[in-house]
Structure 1
Amino acid sequence: MVKRNYQVQEINEKITAKAMLKNRPISLKYATEICREIKGKPVAKAEKFLNDIIEKKAYLPLKKYHKKVPHRKGKPISGQKAGKYPVNACKAFLELISYAKANAENKGLDPERLIIKHVFACQGYRRWSMQPKGRIAGKRRRKKSTHIEIVVQEVHA
C-alpha cells in the first residue's frame, strides 16, 4: 500500500493535530460536500451537525452534486434547500473527528478550543465484488472507497 501524505503543508505542529482514514466505503461526492460544510467550524459544532444528519434532524446541503435531488423543508442551510442524509459518510467523519481529538489530547491541546483547519477527501482504492446472478453466472462490480484527512488547530481566544 502506498504511503499517503497530507495535502496541507504549512502547519504549526505544536498547535495542530491530524488524523486520516483510508479506503472507507463511502461516497466521494458526499464526502466532499461534508468537507465543504464543516471546514472552518469548531469541532463541537461539526460533531453536532453530523449527529443531526444521522438523526435526520438536519440535511446535508448539496451545492455541487445536486442533480435530481429534492428540496427539504425548513430554512435553507448554507443557502441551499436541496439536500440528503448520508448516514454512513457522517459516521465515518465522526470517527475521524474523534481520532483527531484524541491526537490533540495526546499532544496536550484543549479539545474544547479546536477548530477544523483543513479537511480533504479523495478517491481511494476500488475493489472488485461479485453481484450474484443465477446459479453460476455473476457480474463483477467495482466498489468505491474514499480517503479522508483532517487537521484540527487550537485557537486562543
Structure 2
Amino acid sequence: MVKYSKEPENPTKSCKARGSDLRVHFKNTRETAFSIRKLSLVKAKSYLEDVIAHKQAIPFRRFCRGVGRTAQAKNRGHPNGQGRWPAKSAKFVLDLLKNAESNAEVKGLDVDALYISHIQVNQAQKQRRRTYRAHGRINRMFSSSLSFLCLYHLRCLVLC
C-alpha cells in the first residue's frame, strides 16, 4: 500500500491516480498540473489535447524565467502572458487523467461529474550517468524525474 500526502474525505465518491519516477521535466509538469487544477475531468482532457496541438498554451507562473510571452497564455488569465506548450508533460498528465477515468469507472462513479480537487507534483531522485571528457576526465550528468499525485472528487450540485 502506498502512502498519499492527502487522503480524500469521502473515499466512496472519489478516485486517485499516481505516477512515480516519470522521465519528464519537473518544472514544465508542475506548471501543466497547476493549470488544470479545479477543472472537471472532461475539460482538463480537452485542454491538454489542445496544448499538444498548440491551440492553447500553458501559462507559466512560478518557473517563468526566460519564458516568452504569448496571447494564448494571456487568455488563460495570467497577466503577463508568459506561456509554453510542453507536449511531453501534457502527454504524461493526460495519461494520468485517463488512468483516473478508468479507476472511476471501476468504482462506478460518474465520470462527467468528476473534477480535479488536488494535484501534486514532486521531484523524484535524479538518475545519474557519466560523460567522458578530454584528457581522461569524467563528468557526471543528471536527468530529472518526478512523481505525481492526483485526487478526483464528485462535484456535488446543490439544488435549491
* Letter paired with 1:125: Q
For the residues of structure 1 that align with 2:108 and 2:121, how far apart are their CA atoms? 27
Please give the residue correspondences for 1:1-157 in structure 2 after superposition, counting only pairs within 5 Å.
4-74=2-72, 76=74, 77-80=76-79, 81-131=81-131, 133=133, 139-157=139-157
CA positional deviation for 1:152: 0.8
Aligned length: 155
After TM superposition, the runs of 4+ consecutive aligned structure 1 residues lying more than 4 A away are none
**What is the TM-score when the length of structure 1 is the normalising length?**
0.89
Question: For the residues of structure 1 that align with 2:112 and 2:48, how far apart are their CA atoms?
Answer: 17
Whole-angstrom distance in 2 between the partners of 1:100 and 1:72: 31
The offset of 1:25, in angstroms, is: 1.1
Per-residue CA distance 1:94-151 (angstroms, 9 max, x = gap): 01011111111000001111100110000112111234657x7653211110001111
Q: TM-score, normalised by structure 2?
A: 0.87
Q: Kindly indicate which of the two structures has a greater share of residues assigned to helix.
A: 2
CA distance, structure 1, for counterparts of residue 73 and residue 32 of structure 2:
19
Question: Take 1:52 and 1:145, find their aligned partners in 2: how far apart are those partners?
Answer: 24
Matched position secondary structure for 1:18: strand
CA distance in 2, matches of 1:122, 1:70: 25
CA contact under 8 A between 2:56 and 2:73: conserved in structure 1?
A: no
- Partner of 1:14, secondary structure, is helix
Aligned-pair Cα RMSD in Å: 2.0
AA paired with 2:54?
K
Deviation of 1:48 after TM superposition, in Å, equals 1.0
| Distance apart, 1:73 and its partner CA | 3.0
Identity of aligned residues (%): 22
1: CA distance, partners of 2:35 / 2:61: 10
Q: Structure 1 97/107 Cα, relative in aligned 2: closer, same or farther at 3 Å?
A: same
Letter of the 2:61 partner, please give it: K
Give ranges in structure 1 of 5+ residues lacking alignment. Answer: none
